[in-house]
Structure 1
Amino acid sequence: MIKNFKWLLLVSLTFVACNSDDEPFVDPNSTDGTPLTAGSADFSKYVALGNSLTAGYADNALFIAGQQGSYPSILASQFALVGGGEFKIPFMADNTGGLLLGGNPIAGTRLYFNGSAPASVPGVPTTEVTNVLSGPFNNMGVPGAKSFHLLSTSYGNPAGIGSYANPYFVRFASSTSASVIGDAVAQSPTFFSLWIGNNDVLAYATSGGTGVNQTGNLNPATYGANDITDPNVFASVYTGLVDQLTANGAKGVVANLPYVTTIPYFTTVPYNPVALNATTAAQLNAGYTAYNNGLLFAQSNGLLSAAEVARRTISFSASSTNPVVIVDSYLTNLSGFGIPSYRMATSEDLIVLPARTFIGTTVGGNPAQVNGVSVPLADSWVLSKDEIQEVRVATDAYNSAIESIAQTKGLAFVNANALQTQIATGGIAANNVNVTSAYVTGGGFSLDGVHPSPRGYALIANKFLEAINETYGSNFKGVNIGLYRILYPMDPANF
């Protein structure tokens, strides 16, 4: 017995020795298992600037759970592992979403998926804009902000809500004359993220190009809400923002802008969803005979080329894939001859997401007046080929400026344009899930078709961390995106 006990004790001591502190430490939070490091960056005071994407906006609203899952919030959780400090967020009052101004709703509740289609969460918002929060705040993402708005000292003035002020910034601005950049710089950040510029083209795109391309106009004070920002204005503003953020030696990460045409808001509704039998197709063609003959008249008088006549001619067939009819302001204006600017959509046009419930409806219940068929879709329902090109040219110019400034300042750079293109063309596989841009089911986007889902924000955060690792020598592994949900249910109790 005693002899056997001695042998057991020897084996036990040997086992302990093999599992002592001499074993190499493996850090599960680092890319290579070595101890996690911040590299040359200092994350003790992190401030995030941007728009709705930075704020954590999703499902057509800003709400607590979305803010908690924003990419800056995820970044801050990783930074905390290497000395990052508190990350304060200007939380909304609920998980319902929406805003009140003087007790009256000015922004609706968030969307949820009811099993067949998106629907608004029932209830009334409880977030009152005039209940100003006490800051400062680390997440300074402001839904709706364009690049030049971050410099505005009127953006947080409650008297300007409905015109030049932003209700989300009004809630957490340090004063009625504060600017977003001013409140950010006042915190003396040691590290920052900046993702801004999406709205400088997005509002134009989501409105179907109803705004104005302001290229050549250097005065943003004259711009409308749906206009495209002049690229020179953008470059100047962006330079000024980065100069202020880096003035005291802060390091940071910036991201360029995806093409808005790769998001579900523009890729979900097909250009050719009209199913017709032979009888209905013949009736519609008869209805458009006068229009088509007008085009031939214009051609015979040298007003239109044969190519434009072919482009504008409307002809339906017995098929399940007839294109919708649209109004196109880029066509030759023949209104003086009583000929409207109609044509059938092509695969080079993009139909906006809200049209999915509008195409095929009737005007005043008249079965002969069908939207998108006998009644052409107005410009606001379609981003035409020419408008797409305007958006792309502006986006390319902004991205050129962003990357150049990042290189000049030695900042980490995220190619969000390439990321979104990859998501839209096959997806990105990670952590046993594949993230695509398919509406509802793809995992990358929320129900508004513009903003990421929780999983999408987690993927974005990881891409930011990759860029930070590359530039500053840190070794963040990032988060498991498979642990982040795709959709929020109606009831917050089930989040």
Structure 2
Amino acid sequence: MKTIKYIILSMLTLSFFACENEELDELRDRNSEDDEVVLPELTAGTADFSNYVAVGASFTAGFTDNGLFIASQENSFPNIIANQFANVGGGTFNQPLMNDNFGGLILGGNPVIDPMSGERLFEERLVFGGAGPVPLQAVNPAAMSTTDFALNNPTGPFNNLGIPGAKSFHLIAPGYGNLGNFPAAANPYAIRVTGNAPNASILELAVAQNPTFFTLSEIGGNDVLGYATSGGDGSNSITDTATFDFALNTLINSLTANGAKGAIGNLPNITSLPHFTTVPHNPVPLDAATAGFLNSAAAYGAYNAGIVQAFAFLVANTPMTQEMADTEIEKRTISFAAGEGNAVVIFDESLTDLTAINPALVSMRQATEDDLIVLPASSFIGTEAVPGNPQTVNGVAIPLEDKWVLTPEEQDEITVATQAYNASILAAASANGLALVDLNSILEQASTMGIVFDEFNLNTDLVFGGLVSLDGIHLTARGYALMANSFLEAIDATYGSNFVASGNVAKAGEFPTNYSPALQ
């Protein structure tokens, strides 16, 4: 976090022929020595780091570039912290390492297929393809995961109990790591850490190790992230605050029961991540002929005329005012022009339902800069629902489904939940004397002005920002190093240790922002 500067004074040479003067000898001796800033000796303060356990989700595990793999786990923020703890009595930090650097998981020697979509789950990691993120297999067709969560799980106990995809209540749920419960109620990453106690909860696995120090991170992150990445379409709901609070307090009460000290991070505003900010709302270029067709009665012209008629009916027959009607008519009118910058068409369930008046008047409009288009939509917008038919272009002639877009109303739901979670985290940290890491402020700074880490300025731009990995959600190795230092700084402030002042922190230049496709 802070650059350690060593100030070396230039040497002064005094030479006199046949001079034996004691004062000059002292001056010569004094000035012939390098005078540098001496850092204080590292101290643990009131904390005991001898047995450190990390509990959390994907950030704790080291998930990056849409995958978990050996190199990313070695650069997980808990492992970075553990390396510093080792300098002041910290013990071995055991992680459930994957079998390779391809990322992804297999089951019984085969890829895991989603029965609903038919798509492959637990894909290999993303790499930079020259223009943007691409699947590893696109540049290395031989890359194939060898990590089989039914056949070759590692042996614990594990100090790193970060479970990608886990929501707050999953961490206290028995059987979340039982292969027999997959896929309905078990997580493959949890299956890999339960060993001979498949019904043990992640919390029970942590407590069984009798930790002297713990970190608790991203608790609540997946409770809102699943809703956000699915565009708030209802397939992955936000966890209610009461359920979150119960899980949070259960975790903290159990982890501190034996006197362990710890640090907890709050939640960032996830909609500031590049997964939600990279794709513009108006990415569509059109020629004059296509724009003319879309504006015609055959496309959206009839829709535009229909909503005017429908709102006229509502003004005449309901309490709706003309001003209210005009506002929504303007919002719902769909219009295209030749050239760049045409906004995509989206479904929006917050609009007034007009289908009882006219079944063709579905709730759709063009996106605005207040809407957030999820990153995977970048490869979907502009494709043709009917190949070879330019009048079936997705996002233009055919509106984007809810799963591709976070409307302002859906963003507000995420904000309200995140603020409630963070209020609970703050209260729990204060009540239990835990170090609190303000990850929310860190991401806010990174997404606005950037955040300085040694000689680098990290921001949240996809690919080149240095902080967020190629999946647009999880951090780069350098980002995790920054996160580790943030934890160490909070630990210093709470427990009187001096990791930062003594220089026992991660150095930005030692951690990459991208992994090579050749990494195996």
TM-score, length-scaled by structure 1: 0.90
SS of the equivalent of 1:373 reads coil
SS of the equivalent of 1:492 reads coil
How does 1:197-276 map onto structure 2 within 5 Å?
A: 197-211=220-234, 226-276=236-286
For the 8 Å contact 1:254–1:414, the answer to whether it is kept is yes
Equivalence for 2:160: 139
Matches of 2:35 and 2:175 in 1, distance apart?
56
For the 8 Å contact 2:281–2:373, the answer to whether it is kept is yes
Equivalence for 1:484: 511
Matches of 1:368 and 1:311 in 2, distance apart?
23
Percent identity between the aligned chains?
50
Query: Per-residue deviation at 1:278?
Result: 3.5
How does 1:139-178 map onto structure 2 within 5 Å?
A: 139-174=160-195, 175-178=197-200
Change (3 A) 1:344 1:134: same
For the 8 Å contact 1:423–1:435, the answer to whether it is kept is yes
Matches of 1:368 and 1:158 in 2, distance apart?
47
Matches of 1:23 and 1:436 in 2, distance apart?
38
Give a deviation string over 1:156-177, Cα, whole Å, max 9, x none.
1101111110101101114111
Letter in 1 for 2:166: A
Equivalence for 1:110: 125
Letter in 2 for 1:128: D
Query: Per-residue deviation at 1:14?
Result: 7.9
SS of the equivalent of 1:301 reads helix
Matches of 2:28 and 2:61 in 1, distance apart?
50
Matches of 2:153 and 2:92 in 1, distance apart?
20
Matches of 1:80 and 1:26 in 2, distance apart?
24
2:112 is the alignment partner of 1:94: no
RMSD over aligned Cα, in angstroms? 2.3
Letter in 1 for 2:264: V
Equivalence for 2:333: 313
1:377 to 397, 400, 405: 400
Give a deviation string over 1:430-466, Cα, whole Å, max 9, x none.
2111100000000011111110011111111111111
Give a deviation string over 1:119-175, Cα, whole Å, max 9, x none.
222321100102232111000000000000011111011011111101011011141
Equivalence for 1:59: 65
Matches of 1:72 and 1:417 in 2, distance apart?
18
Letter in 2 for 1:309: I
Query: Per-residue deviation at 1:17?
Result: 8.2
Change (3 A) 1:246 1:25: farther
Query: Per-residue deviation at 1:381?
Result: 0.7
Equivalence for 1:451: 474
How does 1:329-344 map onto structure 2 within 5 Å?
A: 329-336=349-356, 337-338=358-359, 339-344=361-366
For the 8 Å contact 2:447–2:460, the answer to whether it is kept is yes
Query: Per-residue deviation at 1:294?
Result: 1.3
For the 8 Å contact 1:25–1:35, the answer to whether it is kept is no
How does 1:111-126 map onto structure 2 within 5 Å?
A: 111-122=126-137, 123-126=143-146
- How many residue pairs get aligned? The number is 468
Matches of 2:391 and 2:472 in 1, distance apart?
31
Equivalence for 1:464: 487
Give a deviation string over 1:372-417, Cα, whole Å, max 9, x none.
1111111111011111000110000000000111011110001111
For the 8 Å contact 2:478–2:508, the answer to whether it is kept is yes
Equivalence for 2:424: 401
Equivalence for 2:14: none
For the 8 Å contact 1:26–1:35, the answer to whether it is kept is no
Unaligned runs of 5+ in 2: 1-17, 113-121, 138-142
Equivalence for 1:281: 291
Query: Per-residue deviation at 1:59?
Result: 0.7
Query: Per-residue deviation at 1:471?
Result: 0.6
Query: Per-residue deviation at 1:19?
Result: 11
Matches of 1:186 and 1:23 in 2, distance apart?
51
Matches of 2:472 and 2:442 in 1, distance apart?
16
Unaligned runs of 5+ in 1: 1-5, 28-32, 212-223
Matches of 1:18 and 1:127 in 2, distance apart?
61
SS of the equivalent of 2:305 reads helix
2:373 is the alignment partner of 1:361: no
Matches of 2:211 and 2:26 in 1, distance apart?
51
Change (3 A) 1:136 1:7: farther
Equivalence for 1:189: 211
Change (3 A) 1:16 1:474: farther
Letter in 1 for 2:509: G
